[in-house]
Structure 1
């Protein structure tokens, strides 16, 4: 005779033995004590959480011959008959194999009026009730609504959405939850002690984590491990059987991300791939680990993390090395790697995982400002026309600022401006040399203030992140979701989003939520030194503010010969706009006259 499966041997037989469903247990106990037994119950929840076990316990309790407080006793003839599967008044129906209306009529409807033979109540347990057809539900509906006084229906399902609302409304509904990992480990320890087998705590934690709240899966896996190893079940045996990645290797990989060391992360991936680790499982476990770090860093409830207290304390130290925005980005990268690894690229199957490691490790590392051309970053020298040098940034900003760096295009102004039209100067008489009359126009104060404010925001981005982390950490994640700072115009901070980028419109809407908007404006006002408000706009709809900058007409020293009558003609006005930074440089170096004019505008054409 085949040995009995461990999950059947250790199936819960009383209310006290049912793990992780205390609210449901207490409710049914009180109903039994007060004799308020309903005619129909609906048990719904994930698989392996005790729905059918609870149905059998309830069937014993309502028929038990012991005192109400001791039910079920498992000692009376009714309890023993149910435990031994020989109770004729307990009818268990598998709805998956009895879906038709004829099956329902034959099994339930035609026999429900017969009184129980030996018990007080006739119990119908219909498992996976959502598999019944529409006709079967309709046929059962009237009987379920007004059954005979000696009949109790107990319906169980893992997909309550497929059960008609008319059926749900006629039952008392109980939602079973996934069993927490701590309670599952304690139950596995009790089973190992009763079976006289030893198991490491890390091994039981790995089993419970792999079971994802399903007690039946955990006990089945424990049964398999008892046949796999020796007297002691170790974590290495569990990892070998499940094909999971050692937790120490995941910790090494995350340490490499925290240290911005992609080489160390790639070494971990290489070592694990050569040992035959399933790469998608590695990516999934990394996502779970990073999620736990994020929850620990944000002060999440320990029930959401569902890890031992010792592990949480160790991970808390590791979480301090990360920025919340970096963790969010890393979780997205490795989640995408799980999807990309389905392709299983021949030759380099771990490529998607390696790309995620490099991208996550480089995120937040000190790097040169992105998208800045050499011409734009070069300092102002001589008479050359160039963009102002980019000030070094102390801390690498998030995407919201990193993407907002302007790109210099040769021959084009970096700011959308229109120079004020210049009045052509009258040509001097022949043979007369025109003396220079140096006049400098002051730089536009509004333009300079706006450029300075945006620069201040970039240079103090570390302060902005610190304030947001203390006041509203979710904003850090929103600012990395496809939005970027475009400009600071007077007291308005312009934030743009790319409508074609996935998630960017959602991030823009989140920024405009009252609490998020007020917090971000308060932080920006504190950093920029004055009241500022934010404006969120689509990038393709944003037009920089047009300003008029007075230009300088500086005639060039020309010696006009009498033989050249073309010199009498007017000079054409150049089309290049004045550059405040170049103009200031000319003022500092003392360049005057023709040198200054040639640096700011095109030369006059002498005809």
Structure 2
């Protein structure tokens, strides 16, 4: 039983074993064969892509006693083995995160002037070189530009933008790319076979995806899974070891979103929450499903490396939705990935509704016709002063002075004015039937400052309908109790009343009730024109 972790035990020992970086390894191998090795290299790219490993292989190759620095290292001579074991005196590895002081760099450059002790070249591998301070980087410049004979510098970094341009100009730069899922999966299959780990291909693919293009992370995940699971490792065991929900309902929600089926999506989210599924992780899986639909819609399905079943589901969803619609849905769920409270499914329900419901059209763009959206009622005219305040002998054709002054004054509009004066053709809603018929258009007339409120998003959902409009009190029926409870919060109730008051042109209050699903008699009575006058009795 070895004590080495997988990523150290299976570190590549030759350029040909480096995974996914063939253009770079071919270039370095050609330089070795032509004996044109540069004095300084800069390896940059994401973590776990082989930067430090390639630097060690290059250090072995230039000092190999068998090949004499003209090709791949033999890995059998004393120099190759010393480099592999980390005991070679002429290969010095430095972690720049703990080597930031300028005095340490000056000491390094002074030691670089000494000839190699054992090999042909003294090789300095400086990892995470972007961590060097500015003064330390400047102290390294002259040595990089004109290094002593038989000295090679290999710099590695994951943050290229932090490297000084003067450093970049003195190095041969190689960009290591993020590894593909297929490359990582193939390497994991090789490691699993050698370690006697029985795991199916789907499980390896899931590990590769979770690693995000880092082979080191993927090998760590494989070892973690092999430690936890015994015998044949199934896909479900891999999901459990990674903390993934592995819930097929993420794909079902993707399909409901694609088909704009809000009711099915809400029911599904309620079931997921009731089962105690981690909603943050479930949201991440929904985002991945929507991304798959987006790429399939864009015609790049071959870049996803999906199974036949996953590809069919993504194609079905892509066929049911437009590109703009998919983009809007994806943006909505991505916005929840930050610090959003995910203890309840409300945030995901809101994202679902925002995706499914079409954006409200601006009020000004609506044509003035019999089918126009209902706009705020025309503001009332200023009330004339009492008769006692008017002149006693005013001429019939003369305007009263106070009214004339108020009409011509540039004073701001009265507080009760709900917004810009609408067209005279707009009429206020006065009956429940008119309110129901114009419900979507009324919500489209909400003041701009409230159009991004969560209260308006809930009001626009398919599960909210007005059931009574009496004496300025609007009673709203909710299909889902969670939405009713949210609107009943003091702030949301105030915003809802403000929205309805601005849209209807009269001060409004809001009353909420949960619609009983089995009360068909009440529904039939409402269909025939009846109005609810006692909300408490309806909920019994």
TM-score by length of 1: 0.58
Alpha-carbon distance in structure 2 between the residues aligned to 1:95 and 1:214: 21
Alpha-carbon distance in structure 2 between the residues aligned to 1:69 and 1:296: 47
Secondary structure class of the residue paired with 1:155:
strand
Q: Using a 3 Å threshold, how does the CA distance of structure 1 residues 313 and 39 change in structure 2: closer, same or farther? A: farther
Alpha-carbon distance in structure 1 between the residues aligned to 2:449 and 2:274: 42
Secondary structure class of the residue paired with 1:320:
helix
Kindly indicate whether the alpha-carbon contact (under 8 Å) linking 2:100 and 2:132 is maintained by their aligned counterparts in 1. yes
Alignment partner of 1:331 is 2:326:
no
Residue 344 of structure 1 aligns with which residue?
341
C-alpha displacement at 1:233, in angstroms?
A: 2.0
Alignment partner of 1:37 is 2:12:
no
Q: Deviations over 1:341-370 (max 9, x none)?
A: x2427xx53210121123334459xxxx98
Secondary structure class of the residue paired with 1:299:
coil
Alpha-carbon distance in structure 2 between the residues aligned to 1:137 and 1:277: 49
Residue 3 of structure 1 aligns with which residue?
3
Q: Using a 3 Å threshold, how does the CA distance of structure 1 residues 500 and 165 change in structure 2: closer, same or farther? A: farther
Cα RMSD after superposing both structures: 2.8
Structure 1 window deviating more from structure 2 (261-270 vs 228-237): it is 261-270
Q: How does 1:167-316 map to 2 (within 5 A)?
A: 167-246=167-246, 248-300=248-300, 302-303=302-303, 305-308=304-307, 311-316=310-315
Alpha-carbon distance in structure 1 between the residues aligned to 2:105 and 2:171: 18
C-alpha displacement at 1:228, in angstroms?
A: 0.4
Kindly indicate whether the alpha-carbon contact (under 8 Å) linking 1:49 and 1:178 is maintained by their aligned counterparts in 2. yes
C-alpha displacement at 1:177, in angstroms?
A: 1.1
Kindly indicate whether the alpha-carbon contact (under 8 Å) linking 1:93 and 1:125 is maintained by their aligned counterparts in 2. yes
Alpha-carbon distance in structure 2 between the residues aligned to 1:337 and 1:11: 38
Secondary structure class of the residue paired with 1:156:
strand
Q: Using a 3 Å threshold, how does the CA distance of structure 1 residues 29 and 2 change in structure 2: closer, same or farther? A: closer
Alpha-carbon distance in structure 2 between the residues aligned to 1:18 and 1:227: 26
Alpha-carbon distance in structure 2 between the residues aligned to 1:28 and 1:389: 76
Q: How does 1:12-27 map to 2 (within 5 A)?
A: 12-27=12-27
Kindly indicate whether the alpha-carbon contact (under 8 Å) linking 1:297 and 1:319 is maintained by their aligned counterparts in 2. yes
Residue 563 of structure 1 aligns with which residue?
none
Residue 321 of structure 1 aligns with which residue?
320
Kindly indicate whether the alpha-carbon contact (under 8 Å) linking 1:125 and 1:155 is maintained by their aligned counterparts in 2. yes
Residue 98 of structure 1 aligns with which residue?
99
Alpha-carbon distance in structure 2 between the residues aligned to 1:66 and 1:310: 52
Secondary structure class of the residue paired with 2:98:
coil
Q: How does 1:576-587 map to 2 (within 5 A)?
A: none
Residue 162 of structure 2 aligns with which residue?
162
Q: Deviations over 1:122-157 (max 9, x none)?
A: 100001111111111111111111111210000011
Alpha-carbon distance in structure 2 between the residues aligned to 1:217 and 1:190: 16
Kindly indicate whether the alpha-carbon contact (under 8 Å) linking 1:44 and 1:160 is maintained by their aligned counterparts in 2. yes
Kindly indicate whether the alpha-carbon contact (under 8 Å) linking 1:243 and 1:277 is maintained by their aligned counterparts in 2. no
Residue 570 of structure 1 aligns with which residue?
none
C-alpha displacement at 1:271, in angstroms?
A: 3.1
Q: Using a 3 Å threshold, how does the CA distance of structure 1 residues 146 and 70 change in structure 2: closer, same or farther? A: closer
Kindly indicate whether the alpha-carbon contact (under 8 Å) linking 1:269 and 1:354 is maintained by their aligned counterparts in 2. yes
C-alpha displacement at 1:310, in angstroms?
A: 6.0
Kindly indicate whether the alpha-carbon contact (under 8 Å) linking 1:261 and 1:362 is maintained by their aligned counterparts in 2. no
Alpha-carbon distance in structure 2 between the residues aligned to 1:499 and 1:105: 60
| Greater Cα radius of gyration, structure 1 or 2 | 1
Q: Deviations over 1:444-485 (max 9, x none)?
A: xxxxxxxxxxxxxxxxxxxxxxxxxxxxxxxxxxxxxxxxxx
TM-score by length of 2: 0.65
C-alpha displacement at 1:260, in angstroms?
A: 2.6
C-alpha displacement at 1:328, in angstroms?
A: 1.1
Q: How does 1:84-123 map to 2 (within 5 A)?
A: 84-106=85-107, 108-123=108-123
Kindly indicate whether the alpha-carbon contact (under 8 Å) linking 1:182 and 1:308 is maintained by their aligned counterparts in 2. no
Kindly indicate whether the alpha-carbon contact (under 8 Å) linking 2:60 and 2:73 is maintained by their aligned counterparts in 1. yes
Alpha-carbon distance in structure 2 between the residues aligned to 1:167 and 1:181: 33
Kindly indicate whether the alpha-carbon contact (under 8 Å) linking 2:289 and 2:314 is maintained by their aligned counterparts in 1. no
Residue 358 of structure 1 aligns with which residue?
353
Alpha-carbon distance in structure 2 between the residues aligned to 1:408 and 1:363: 19
Kindly indicate whether the alpha-carbon contact (under 8 Å) linking 1:244 and 1:277 is maintained by their aligned counterparts in 2. no
Residue 445 of structure 2 aligns with which residue?
none
Structure 1, unaligned stretches of length 5 or more? 378-386, 391-404, 413-497, 503-607
Kindly indicate whether the alpha-carbon contact (under 8 Å) linking 2:32 and 2:71 is maintained by their aligned counterparts in 1. no
Kindly indicate whether the alpha-carbon contact (under 8 Å) linking 1:250 and 1:286 is maintained by their aligned counterparts in 2. yes
Secondary structure class of the residue paired with 1:110:
helix
Alpha-carbon distance in structure 1 between the residues aligned to 2:349 and 2:95: 47
Kindly indicate whether the alpha-carbon contact (under 8 Å) linking 1:99 and 1:136 is maintained by their aligned counterparts in 2. yes
Alignment partner of 1:140 is 2:140:
yes
Secondary structure class of the residue paired with 2:184:
helix
Alpha-carbon distance in structure 1 between the residues aligned to 2:116 and 2:361: 80
Q: How does 1:552-567 map to 2 (within 5 A)?
A: none
C-alpha displacement at 1:287, in angstroms?
A: 1.7
C-alpha displacement at 1:389, in angstroms?
A: 4.1
Secondary structure class of the residue paired with 1:199:
coil
C-alpha displacement at 1:262, in angstroms?
A: 2.3
Alpha-carbon distance in structure 1 between the residues aligned to 2:102 and 2:249: 55
C-alpha displacement at 1:81, in angstroms?
A: 1.4
C-alpha displacement at 1:288, in angstroms?
A: 2.1
Structure 2, unaligned stretches of length 5 or more? 380-447, 453-540
Alpha-carbon distance in structure 2 between the residues aligned to 1:85 and 1:261: 61
Alpha-carbon distance in structure 2 between the residues aligned to 1:34 and 1:207: 40
Secondary structure class of the residue paired with 2:321:
coil
